[in-house]
A and B are shown apart, each in its own frame.
Chain A
């Protein structure tokens, strides 16, 4: 494996958790719910996946546990914001803090223990392609799931009737209700989907990316995923571009540090976040695209008048 190969593999590895979390949150936001708890759902997914795979020795059971961890957190969010009509912003922030703290408690005994690595699935022939072979066709199952999810979400939102209803609920919940759709049920499913995706993303971090449990190991990736949704202006395909762009910046700053650039390493570590801000500024300049795709009811609770 030469340098370009290795670089590409590491970029893909850094990007996949962002992509998984972002595509889930995109669906959540399209239904009109803003769940700022991505970070918390991710880290819970990470710790559940790590602990389960270590105990059972089976990384696939670990993935399942990661899904359940993320989903459980999202159901808590749904219960508070949809059931009890709590403020979505505050609840999401609380969910992030809760996840970070709670995962630290669960993971206390696993700190420093090497985990079970998720095996790669080699796709014959294609994986022998030069440069992209290893990066794209000799990957673990979560990478393939992430790419398939983008296809799936794109089809779901724009080709299926479910997606039409989901977008309608996010666009104007009063109208959707007047037409007879159950707004909060649609939102519940969306939030749950977001939780599952965040859980997968967390599982990827602890089973593939580091293969260790470290407290606070999500390190702000949940927040980048939230920014990516805006960056993608709520269009599924753009999350791929966004995730890989940020993954690349994340990796390149490592290499820049390794190459001994005369720039403070702290500044380089801040690069991905700076890039996020710059990208958001540019994206919000094109107001028309943003406005048409922005779910109008984003962050607003719905209480039926029945």
Chain B
């Protein structure tokens, strides 16, 4: 591959206000290669590919396509040149059909009927079965990604940019994707592959470019590196790995029990929970795996009390609380960390000490209120200070607004706020989503430590590496039902993938490649930044 490069980006710089998202980044993509773009969250990967796809304009730098300098003023320009993109957060329209979604990304003048035929033909050819007239809202996440890929392929692109494509897939669906990618590369197309999953990068990528804090740190060949050497290039220092000792839970007390929990769907596109049962014992970490949108948020809402269920469906500390408020549950020793930190877990415009009050006003002993009305500010301030010290929260002032903290620091605060209470039951949803590797390791260790002190911890996560790193038992949620929680030793990526529903929308016409049980997953987990 010494021919002229397909794409050369030179000195790409992008400034958002005071933030330098890309600082003189160089990137070279050869024809027919799978090129990995690696970096932690916030390293500038997404900014760089948005520039290459024409949806952002660089502050400085030049893009050379097939030896000619080009200026990409919008995505249509990029598509005309032969650059296609598969988005991480899909750019799809839920209430429209597959063919309508695809037509939107193609130039005008296509007959819908003819386009439908081409979609079904191309999708079958590449083993990505799709029906042109299905409504996107009815499709699984994996099927939605196929729409993006087929949409991209119909433009006959020479360069396909993929942003974190496997983060939403079951392991089986990921295998299918890898096959498609290798085939595309075999056809002479290049793929720019963004990921933080180092094992898969090592497996399928020919070359890699690594970014850190917006700067280029290395070009390398992934197959010649180890997962941990790649990780330290990404992070800049080695990340402490999480310590977990084996414990026997057979005699441990059950601290929370879900007993045939049913919850009707809240709308036509929402998920119904059906007969979910789970015992949570003191001392253990139980993880619930699953592809996004299979009932995780509904389950969290039911356990935390945001939505009421039958009284006996949720039992905390031997009391039926299914129809009780969140404060009652907190008083029984339960604590909850919801998924969206900015929109759900904190009020961004309030100070940390005030946010402490939001979850602890009713459960704290002695009370944080004078006569139940006036706030004891010194007390909440002290607690905020203590959380900041124990969880290494870096902040510019003693008691900043929650919204001014970085994602990782805010997540440490949100988790720390609950752990600081020493709850007997802790329910956490996506504990390290969008958090840098250092903060993720700290949070995971804190969860394990809390459990080993006798509390029960339930983690709802889509990150399988994280789950294998911290969980004692693993259950899988799929279409609103929960599989039996099995000890981590009895689980493999392949088993979890099958429980997640394997390959969605498969009518049996494609063979599902076998997945190698990935023992390296746990060890590479420390470098997992998202």
Contacts and interface: CB of A to CB of B under 8 A. Distances in A.
Interface of A: 161, 164-165, 167-168, 171-172, 174-181, 287-288, 291-293, 296, 305-306
B76 A180 contact: yes
B92 A172 contact: yes
Contacts of B135: 292
B512 interface: no
A287 B268 contact: yes
Contacts of B137: 292
A164 B103 contact: yes
B54 A175 contact: no
B54 A288 contact: no
B60 to A, nearest CB: 16
A167 to B, nearest CB: 7
B75 A288 contact: no
A174 B268 contact: no
Contacts of A180: 54-55, 74-76, 79
Nearest to A292: B95
A187 to B, nearest CB: 16
From B75, B104, B135, B268, residue with most partner A Cβ within 10 Å: B104
B242 to A, nearest CB: 35
Nearest to A171: B93
Contact of A179 (B56, B57, B75): B75
Given A161-B108, A287-B267, A291-B269, A172 B75 contact: no
B87 A178 contact: yes
Contacts of B108: 161
Contact of B268 (A161, A181, A292): A292
Contacts of B75: 178-180
A206 B97 CA distance: 43
B96 A174 contact: no
B254 interface: no
B104 A164 contact: yes
Contacts of B79: 180
A178 B91 contact: yes
Contacts of B93: 167-168, 171-172, 175-176
B105 interface: yes
A97 to B, nearest CB: 30
B104 A165 contact: yes
Q: Classify chain B: how many residues form its interface, as a range.
A: 20 to 34
Nearest to B265: A287
Nearest to A159: B112
A305 B46 CA distance: 13
Contacts of B56: 305-306
Q: Which 4 A-B pairs rank lowest in CB-CB distance, beginning with the nearest?
A: A180-B75, A175-B91, A178-B91, A288-B268
Contacts of A306: 55-57
B269 to A, nearest CB: 7
Contacts of B96: 164, 167-168, 171
A179 B107 CA distance: 11
Contacts of A168: 93, 96, 104
Contacts of B94: 171-172, 296
14 contacts: A172-B92, A174-B91, A175-B92, A176-B104, A179-B105, A180-B54, A180-B55, A180-B76, A180-B79, A181-B104, A291-B267, A292-B137, A293-B95, A296-B95
Interface string B68-89: 0000001110010000000100
B399 to A, nearest CB: 30
Given A291-B95, A291-B267, 17 more contacts: A161-B108, A164-B96, A164-B100, A164-B104, A168-B104, A174-B91, A176-B93, A176-B104, A177-B55, A179-B91, A179-B104, A180-B55, A181-B104, A291-B268, A292-B135, A293-B95, A296-B95
Interface in B346-398: none
Contacts of B74: 180
Contacts of B90: 175
B95 A171 contact: yes
Q: Which of A168, A180, A181, A292 has the most CB of B within 10 A?
A: A180
A180 B269 CA distance: 27
A291 B267 CA distance: 8
A293 B135 CA distance: 12
Interface in B164-181: none
Interface in B433-460: none
Nearest to A289: B268
B194 to A, nearest CB: 15
Most A Cβ at <10 Å: residue of B55, B79, B87, B269: B55
A172 B268 CA distance: 18
A138 B128 CA distance: 57
A200 B269 CA distance: 38
Contacts of B95: 171, 291-293, 296
